[in-house]
């Protein structure tokens, strides 16, 4: 194949990869919409769609920042969803507060640990602040997930952090690529999205049940 044919083949392969990678997440978005009766899109379902957009962007290295932005929006949408009436039992228990502090301290530690590696990148002027903003968004999401006291949601938020930590350590060349690095990243990523989606379905079901129960008692 000549250069043009090779380039065209590479683009086709990347388009196929983006479809395969984003497909499961889009399926989860559809599942959430089906279970909530299509009543609300701008919550976990929309977060899953933005995550799928991020998946597609990350196939192309030059779109890394676009992918980060898409995932940042996803975390913001997840956070807003966790603050909604459907997640009514936000906890202020000592354990939840303690774990929240640990998450924020760990997030700050990770950022300053990554900082020298980020500064070596040619796009560091944008990447350094963007990574900081992204860390704030994902830690906020995981913190709010923890305060819902819903096991699926809590585990989903924590799994997302593990996935992104494994990704950042390899992408920013903090460590050499692990033999099973991609498997670790993708397994924890899909697990996170699955748990968040199932947690949202469960929250919606519980909320609907409580609402009907109150109506019957009136």
Number of compact structural domains in the chain: 1
> If you average pLDDT over residues 110-124, what whole number do you get?
95
Separation between Cα atoms, residue 26 and residue 23, nearest integer Å? 5
Q: Which two tokens stand for residue 217?
A: 């008692």
Nearest to 94 by CA among 146, 135, 152, 140: 146
Is 170 a residue whose pLDDT tops 80? yes
Q: Is residue 133 within 8 Å of 140, Cβ to Cβ?
A: no
Separation between Cα atoms, residue 147 and residue 145, nearest integer Å? 5
Strands (E), 10-78: none
More confident call, 217 vs 30: 30
Separation between Cα atoms, residue 170 and residue 55, nearest integer Å? 17
User: 23-54 pLDDT, tens per residue?
Assistant: 999 999 999 999 877 666 788 999 999 999 99
At residue 39, the pLDDT reads 66
Q: Which two tokens stand for residue 122?
A: 């040619």
The region, left, alpha or beta by phi > 0 then psi within -120 to 50, assigned to residue 84 is beta
Q: For residue 91, what are the domain limits?
A: 3-217
Is 187 a residue whose pLDDT tops 80? yes
Share of the chain above pLDDT 90, in %: 61
pLDDT tier for residue 8 given thresholds of 50, 70 and 90: very low
At residue 91, the pLDDT reads 61
At residue 14, the pLDDT reads 56
């Amino acid at each position: 194949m000549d250069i043009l044919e090779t380039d065209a083949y590479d683009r086709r392969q990347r388009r196929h990869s983006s479809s395969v990678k984003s497909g499961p997440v889009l399926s989860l978005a559809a599942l959430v919409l089906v279970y909530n009766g299509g009543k609300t899109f701008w919550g976990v379902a929309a977060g899953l769609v933005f995550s799928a957009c991020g998946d597609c962007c990350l196939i192309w290295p030059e779109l890394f920042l676009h992918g980060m932005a898409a995932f940042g929006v996803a975390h913001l949408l997840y956070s807003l969803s966790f603050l909604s009436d459907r997640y009514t039992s936000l906890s202020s228990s000592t354990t939840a507060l303690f774990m929240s502090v640990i998450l924020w301290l760990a997030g700050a530690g990770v950022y300053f640990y990554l900082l020298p590696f980020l500064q070596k990148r040619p796009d560091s002027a944008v990447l350094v602040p963007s990574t900081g903003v992204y860390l704030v968004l994902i830690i906020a999401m995981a913190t709010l997930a923890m305060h819902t006291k819903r096991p699926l949601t809590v585990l989903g938020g924590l799994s997302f952090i593990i996935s992104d930590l494994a990704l950042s350590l390899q992408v920013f060349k903090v460590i050499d690529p692990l033999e099973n690095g991609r498997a670790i990243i993708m397994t924890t990523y899909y697990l996170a999205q699955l748990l968040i989606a199932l947690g949202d379905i469960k929250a919606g079901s519980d909320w609907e049940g409580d609402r009907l129960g109150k109506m019957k008692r009136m």
